[in-house]
Each structure stands twice: as structure tokens, then as C-alpha cells.
Amino acid sequence: MDKSTREEIGKEVIKRLKEKFGEALIANLKEEEALSLDIIVRAFSNIIFDEREQLIKLGSKTQSRAFFNVGQTRVFMQTLLVANACKSLIESGKTTSIRSLYYSTKHNIGNTKENTFEEQGESNPIIEDIEVNINALREELHLRANSKGAMVGNLTIIDSGDEIDLRKMGSGGWAVPSIVEPHTIQFKKCDAKFVLFIEKDTVWGRFNEDKFWKKHNCIIVHGGGQPPRGVRRVVKRMHEELKLPIYVLVDNDPWGFYIYSVVKQGSMKLAYESARMAVPDAKFIGLSSYDQEKYTLPDEVTIKLNDGDKKRIKELLNYKWFQKKEWRKELESMLKKGVKLELEALSSKNIAFITDTYLPEKIERKEWLS
């Protein structure tokens, strides 16, 4: 997408910002109505699971945020400060991190010692409120999240005009930026047949070192644990635009399994972005709770579940989006066995077992969950 399209989007977002966080409020004031914003609730109470689309979404519950309410007046004021900062940012044509946006809105109020914001924890949720309430993407507000995650594989891309061959990225790979929208990142030449999403960068490093992507003609990507927006979005785009299947490889513990769910169905925190982020077709390739027997891994490579793990498993089992039979079997078996298994445990066979044997076999035999 070119520069003019970007400006177009910017104008549209500003228009919505101006209406919701400006004109409507001044109209309130003039008509002597309560100075108040209706804000879509982002809490668990407003999270729904769309069975048909298999996506976590935000419901339609709203909550008023009023200036003339002692409990809400501060966050009301902060909301306008952030809205104003976003508008200026878009107008300037620059992008910035959410941390520097926090600093740009933080100052003393009048001649008091009170700050508009005391910590970034106050400003981050407001940014999300604004995204939801004017239905704008974070990228469209010109805001960057922290970027983490890397990608290599049989793909050539254009990043801000620079052509990048993801086959020649050395050991570190291409760092996935937080803004990966078509106006910044374009796909040029793709020979890959699938995308392997790996939970951890260390395991991803093993795959890259072994040139797994070359042997098996794919793209490998990791999100450094819970994947950031940029990684999720680029995975989604590869799936949609390049028609590549997505395989997810995570630790065999509730946290790994949840990462799979996030890639596939979306997260609660970004429930409003699920449609743009989630890949409902994503397949869970491992590690499965049954892999220990299947690959005859010794007992000493397993780790006992701690209380936090057990609690988390039970929590997941209660989510509406964790009710698939096979998913429940995985989690219940994990709980029954009382152990978890890290990806690195496969190295007990031999160091290249995961790349040479485990994964090719799984893909070959279509041993996955979906």
C-alpha cells in the first residue's frame, strides 16, 4: 500500500477521534448534559466466544466514563489526553512506542504535584480503549508495541521499501516489527509450503541452525513466548494472503497450550482484534501429552506440574473456547500424569531429533489437533 492510502486511513481515524472524543463531548457540554463517554467494556465480563467463527470476541457491553464522577474523572481526563496525543501523532505522520506516548502525555496538573499519569499502567489500557471505541488498529493510531519475535524461511518481503530475503538472515533472523500492515510490509516471492510457529526463540534457533526451513521448504517464526501483535498479525497475513497452513509447536504445559489457543482463536486482551490476528485453521502439532510414551522419552526429562500449572489447567478447562474434546483430553491427561514436557526434552533422543524426526513425522502423518 502506498503513502496516499496511509494518509487516507489517518484522516479517517482522526475524523473518528474528533467525533467521539471531541465534538460529541462539546455537544454534551452545550446541552448541559452529563459530560460522559460510553466506553466498550474490555473486561472478562464482556468477552464472548463466537462458536461459528471460532473466535474470541468482545461483546457489546458499554460503561459510561463521566467527568463529573469522582471515581471516573481522572480516567476521563486521561482518556482525552491520550486521544489528543494520538491525533497529534497521526497528524505528524510519525509512529512512536506506547511508552513514549505515556511520556508525552505525562505532566504536572496546574501548579500541583499531581501528574496526569503516574505510571504507564494508567495509559496503556486507555490506548486499548481508544482502539476499541473508534474501531481503529493500534497501527492506525501510529503506535508501536514492543517488538519481539523473529522469522526466516523461503520468502522475500519488502519492509518499508527495502527488499529482504528471509533465506539470508543468518542466525538471528528477521526481527518482526510491531507494525506489519500492508503499507509497511509486502510479500514478494514465496516458495514456502507452510509456516511453523514456534513458542520459544531457543527452539527456533535449533530449527534455524539445522536449516529446517530449507529442507522442508517452510517459514519458521517465533514470538518469544506469548506472541506480540506483530508476530500474530504477520502469521495471519501469511495464512490469508499466501494461503500457507500454520503449525504451532509449543511446550506441553498449560501456558504453551494457551499460546496455541491465542494464535488460533485470539486473546482476551485483544479480543477486539481477533478477526485480524487469529488463524482459526492453525494446527497444534506438539508437544502432546502423549508424546512421552509415543517417543519413549525417559521419565527424568519430565517436570512435575506445580500448583500454578494445575490451577491454570483447571482455569483453561472452564473457558468456553476450550471445550473441544481433543483439547480437553490433552489438558486432562496432562493433569492426570501430573507432569509437563518442554520442547528441549526431545533433545534427550539426540540434538537434531526434533528437526529431523519428530516434526517431519508429525507433518507427514498429519498428527495434529485442530
Active site residues: 103
Amino acid, res. 356: D
Coil, helix or strand at residue 92: helix
Which residue in this structure is represented by grid cell 486499548?
128
Q: Is residue 76 a contact point for other proteins (CB under 8 A)?
A: yes
Q: Is residue 66 a contact point for other proteins (CB under 8 A)?
A: no
Closest alpha carbon to 361 in 291, 293, 280, 297: 291
Q: Is residue 83 a contact point for other proteins (CB under 8 A)?
A: yes
Instruction: Report, in Å, the least distance between residue 129 CB and other proteins.
Output: 15
The C-alpha cell that represents 205 in the structure block = 534457533
Cα(119)–Cα(212) distance, integer angstroms: 43
Q: Is residue 73 a contact point for other proteins (CB under 8 A)?
A: yes
Q: Are 152 and 219 in contact (CB under 8 A)?
A: yes
Q: Is residue 32 a contact point for other proteins (CB under 8 A)?
A: yes
Choices 62-70, 93-101, 287-295, 345-353 (CB under 8 A): range interacting with other proteins: 62-70
Q: Is residue 84 a contact point for other proteins (CB under 8 A)?
A: yes
Instruction: Report, in Å, the least distance between residue 109 CB and other proteins.
Output: 5
* CB nearer other proteins, residue 35 or residue 335: 35
Instruction: Report, in Å, the least distance between residue 353 CB and other proteins.
Output: 58
In angstroms, the Cα distances linking 281 to 145, 225, 317 are 26, 20, 21
Tell me the Ramachandran region of residue 110: left when phi exceeds 0, alpha when psi lies from -120 to 50, beta otherwise: left
Q: Is residue 116 a contact point for other proteins (CB under 8 A)?
A: yes
Instruction: Report, in Å, the least distance between residue 272 CB and other proteins.
Output: 22
Among 7, 23, 163, 281, binds other proteins (CB under 8 A): 23
Which residue in this structure is represented by grid cell 522442508?
216
The C-alpha cell that represents 238 in the structure block = 501469511
Residues in contact with other proteins, counted by CB under 8 A, come to a total of 29
Closest alpha carbon to 140 in 50, 209, 229: 229
Among 68, 241, 338, 361, binds other proteins (CB under 8 A): 68
Q: Is residue 207 a contact point for other proteins (CB under 8 A)?
A: no
